[in-house]
Amino acid sequence: MKRSLTHPASLLALAALPLGGCVARASAPPPAPYQVDGDVVAFHDSAAERATVQVAPLSRTSDDHLELTGRLVWDEDLTARVFPPVAGRVTRIALDFGAPVTRGQRLADLSSPDYGQAQADAARAEADLGVATRAFERVSEVFEHGGAARKDRDQAEADLLRARAEAERTSRRLRLWGGTEAGLVDQDYVVRSPVAGVVVERNLNPGQEVRPDATAPLFVVSDPSHLWILLDATEADLASLEPGARLEIRSAAFPGRSFEGVLDTLGASLDPATRTVKVRGKVMNPDRLLRAEMYVSVLAQRRTGERRLLAPARAVLHEGERHYLFVEDGAHRFRRTAVQLGVEREGAVPILGGVADGARIAVEGQLLLESAWAEAHGR
């Protein structure tokens, strides 16, 4: 900790020097107006105290909200990122960025050999199933009249089961891709929206070649009237937060207006780099004024609505990882007291422990008190 090299008593003596004239001869500095006893700095009289230290009581906040910052993102429960299940070339874009969309509505058309192959496989499997079915019926009828061996009937039955399994496989694949079991092999694949909402992102152009293993979706569809908010809370904030707490969101884009939300989830672990925990909430955005990726300020309702002791940040002295205040301890006496702090906001810091309610602290002159204490302890 950086300390002043000037003796505190010398600073008080300088203030008492006359402004004019010369000093004919050097004289010893006057005695210090205080004495140090352990962690207590005691002044000899009130005049010396008033010339050095300004005292104020710890304030108490009745605020039952916690101030946080957050980032708005799409509500993933109402958002779909549309990737093509087949490779192909874009032949038509049906909806553009910002367009409303219903569930199952056409977004784009692809010319896809993969889809054409799936159609052909389904048609061939259906034809093979018909042939195998008729062959089994014929062999079974002959077998019942003694004109065919059992092994021929068993072979026909096995062929029928294989054909049925292949028809089911190809049919399921075609249905999964949105096709039908019957129809022409036309290779025209329709990309449809799996959810209702608005096209909030479009990443394709006419004639573009697309692949199912692409990293960027062709479309992102979401409901902008519902958003998520991601908050970074410190360890000290966790005791004040709980799921279901009301959130009041404010954006610089709309001064004087607030939006409602609710805290949804608290993360299970801390980020090892920032020592913060991820907190998620839901925001109502019926007028669609808020936008995803906006940074906003948030007032989160506290768990208990507790009243907290606050001290001016300038009154706190830091020594390594420890923090101290000079607390008034009787007439003209100030005790160097270790305290536990919360997160500083707007020039004030919550006092989580170390001092009692109603305590008075040094808010000016505490550096001189610290220098006096350090000198007495050989620091």
DSSP state of 32: P
The class (CATH top level) of 8-12+29-62+308-376 is: mainly beta
- pLDDT for residue 241: 86
Q: What is the DSSP string of 308-368?
A: EEEEEGGG-EEETTEEEEEEE-STTEEEEEEEEE---BTTEEEEEESS-TT-EEEEESHHH
186-229 confidence digits (pLDDT tens): 788 999 999 999 999 999 999 999 999 889 999 999 999 999 99
Q: Let me know if the fold of 65-77+223-301 is the same as that of 80-112+189-222.
A: no
- ∠70-228-81 over CA atoms, to 5°? 125
DSSP state of 5: -
Quote the tokens at residue 40: 């207590």
Q: Which of 6-20, 258-272, 326-340, 355-369 has the lowest mean pLDDT?
A: 6-20
Q: What percent of the chain has pLDDT over 70?
A: 88
In the three-class reduction of DSSP (H, G, I as helix; E, B as strand; rest coil), residue 114 is classed as: helix
Q: The domain 65-77+223-301 belongs to what CATH superfamily? A: Efflux pump adaptor protein, beta barrel domain (2.40.30.170)
The kind and range of the H/E element at 262 are strand 258-270
Over the chain, what is the mean pLDDT?
A: 85
Domain edges within the chain: 8-12+29-62+308-376, 65-77+223-301, 80-112+189-222, 117-186
In the three-class reduction of DSSP (H, G, I as helix; E, B as strand; rest coil), residue 219 is classed as: strand
Residues 331, 369 contacting (CB under 8 angstroms): no
Q: What percent of the chain has pLDDT over 90?
A: 43
Asked if residue 19 has pLDDT above 70, the reply is: no
- What pTM, to 2 d.p., does this model score? 0.59
Q: Which of 90-94, 113-117, 173-177, 304-308 has the lowest mean pLDDT?
A: 304-308
Query: CA–CA separation, 349 vs 368, rounded Å?
Result: 21
108-154 confidence digits (pLDDT tens): 999 998 888 888 888 899 899 999 999 999 988 888 888 788 888 89
- pLDDT for residue 304: 61
- Bridge partners, 207 (sequence order): none
Please state the rounded mean pLDDT for residues 235-252.
Answer: 87
The class (CATH top level) of 80-112+189-222 is: mainly beta
Among residues 165, 162, 296, 306, the alpha carbon closest in space to that of 229 is found at 296
- ∠61-352-348 over CA atoms, to 5°? 50
Query: CA–CA separation, 280 vs 118, rounded Å?
Result: 42
Asked if residue 276 has pLDDT above 70, the reply is: yes
Asked if residue 7 has pLDDT above 70, the reply is: no
How far the first Cα of the chain sits from its last, in Å, is 10
- pLDDT for residue 174: 85
Q: Residue 49 — very low, low, confident or very high, per pLDDT cuts 50/70/90?
A: confident
Q: Residue 4 — very low, low, confident or very high, per pLDDT cuts 50/70/90?
A: very low
**Is 117-186 assigned to CATH 2.30.30?**
no
- Alpha-carbon dihedral sign for residues 204, 209, 214, 215: negative
289-338 confidence digits (pLDDT tens): 999 999 999 988 877 655 678 889 999 999 988 999 999 998 889 999 99
What's the chain's Rg over C-alpha atoms?
39
